[in-house]
Chain A
Amino acid sequence: MRGQDRFGLNAMKAIIAAIIGGAMVLVSGAIYAQSVQTVPRVVPRLTGAAQPMGEVPAPPFPRPVTDDKRVMRNYPEQPPVIPHSIENYQLTLRANRCLECHRREYTEGSGAPMISVTHFMDRDGQMLADVTPRRYFCTACHVPQTDARPLVPNTFTDMKASGR
């Protein structure tokens, strides 16, 4: 009988715990849902429509920066950004408009900086006479700049400044 009694008490405890737990989940869920509704967004929505599959008006195209000024790199390994427009430049398996100025042989005529020496090295460390296939598609790393305003604030700190 004692054993049975204990069992009954345990079951009672478990039921009460389940009820309290369930109530807590419900209440916290309600609070969370309320907070989602009332707390304003700190960061504006970056992509996509508020309604799933809804239409998003296309923002106007920002203007490319074309001042031809070389931009400082933020860290040594950064691929330098492109200080001119590359609109309608053909970059295909057959033609590479970038290299028509930046290839070693053409820099004298174009005055453009030569692609760096790392771009002549294949994945086995062999130096080739021309750009290595893995570096052929310039825009995989190098990008032009536009006058678009940043969507989120940027807290990047130069490593020179961050050590102090």
Chain B
Amino acid sequence: MKWLIAKFLWFWRIASRPAAHISLGVLALGGFIGGVIFWGGFNTALEITNTEKFCTSCHEMRDNVYQELQRTPHFANRSGVRASCPDCHVPHDWTDKIARKMQASKEVWGKIFGTISTREKFLDKRLELAKHEWARLKANDSLECRNCHSAIAMDFTKQAPRAATIHAKYLVTGERTCIDCHKGIAHELPDMTGIEPGWSAPAELRDRHSYHVPDVDRLSRYLTSVREMSAE
């Protein structure tokens, strides 16, 4: 700790002194040019990591999720609009993007230690990974979906009647968000046991007769009724 403070003080003594040999012009202009180069380089590097080519340069992505994506309408469709990896998995706004990129450093860790380096490992881990994405999209109200699909621009008369009804009921009211119902639209699904679809009725509205009454309560009620009968 002591040597750290000493190092800092040494740095501060140099940094706080006015420049003795370099002119203010060189400092200001040099600082400006250096800043531009740094910022340009940073952003370029960031953009490179934000491409499908970069994502699929690892076999984990190329052999698993990318192969699955190619069979879905988000890869090939009648109108020729394609969504690539970062369109759905990286926020488009700068601050959110940086936050996501910082989170993604965990993925570098996973790459180095081969967390999903084989198909079997990937399939075992798939539920957890999918849950992360579902949670992320749920939390930001399916922001990445809405970058292209907006409820305002949806013509319900052009949809199948069932789709129109459900969208009017859940999407427009804001009761549910895209990912609640549209899971596994671009990749294969993990083991979905116990994961309820978005349109399932809330638990408290289901099976109205027995939901609120736990078995223990029902048993005790039955026993008291029996006791009362025997008392009579």
Nearest residue, chain B, Cβ from A95: B189
Question: Nearest Cβ distance between residue A65 and chain B, in whole angstroms?
Answer: 11
Binding site secondary structure of chain B: loop
Complexed CA–CA distance, A97 and B184 (Å): 10
B162 and A68: CB pair below 8 A? Answer: yes
B197 and A95: CB pair below 8 A? Answer: no
A105 and B200: CB pair below 8 A? Answer: yes
Question: Nearest Cβ distance between residue B178 and chain A, in whole angstroms?
Answer: 16
> How many A residues have CB within 8 A of the partner chain?
18
Nearest residue, chain A, Cβ from B186: A88
> Which residues on A sit within 8 Å (CB–CB) of B160?
66, 68, 84-85
CB < 8 Å neighbour of B200 from A95, A97, A106: A106
Nearest residue, chain A, Cβ from B197: A100
Is B72 an interface position by the 8 A CB rule? yes
Question: Nearest Cβ distance between residue B209 and chain A, in whole angstroms?
Answer: 13
Complexed CA–CA distance, A106 and B160 (Å): 20
CB < 8 Å neighbour of A109 from B72, B161, B162, B201: B201
> Which residues on B sit within 8 Å (CB–CB) of A96?
192
B188 and A88: CB pair below 8 A? Answer: no
Complexed CA–CA distance, A90 and B196 (Å): 15
> Which residues on B sit within 8 Å (CB–CB) of A114?
none
Question: Nearest Cβ distance between residue B192 and chain A, in whole angstroms?
Answer: 4
Number of A-B contacts (CB under 8 A): 49
> Which residues on A sit within 8 Å (CB–CB) of B190?
94-95
* B:43-93 near A, CB below 8 Å: 72-73
> Which residues on A sit within 8 Å (CB–CB) of B192?
94-96, 100
Known: A100-B197, A109-B201. A95 touches B191 (CB 8 A): yes
Chain A window 90-119, contacts with chain B (Cβ cutoff 8 Å), 1 for yes, 0 for no: 101011110011000110111000000000
A109 and B197: CB pair below 8 A? Answer: yes
CB < 8 Å neighbour of B191 from A84, A94, A101, A108: A94
> Which residues on B sit within 8 Å (CB–CB) of A85?
160
B contact residues vs A (CB 8 Å cutoff): 72-73, 160-162, 184-185, 188-192, 196-197, 199-201, 205-206
A–B complex contacts, Cβ < 8 Å, 29 sampled = A66-B160, A68-B160, A68-B161, A84-B160, A85-B160, A88-B72, A88-B73, A92-B188, A92-B189, A94-B188, A94-B189, A94-B190, A94-B192, A95-B184, A95-B189, A95-B190, A97-B184, A100-B192, A100-B197, A105-B200, A105-B206, A106-B196, A106-B200, A108-B200, A108-B201, A108-B206, A110-B197, A110-B199, A110-B200
Q: A66-B160, A94-B192 are in contact. List 19 more A-B contacts (CB 8 A).
A: A68-B160, A68-B161, A68-B162, A85-B160, A88-B185, A94-B189, A94-B190, A95-B184, A95-B190, A96-B192, A100-B197, A105-B200, A106-B196, A106-B197, A108-B200, A108-B201, A109-B197, A110-B199, A110-B200
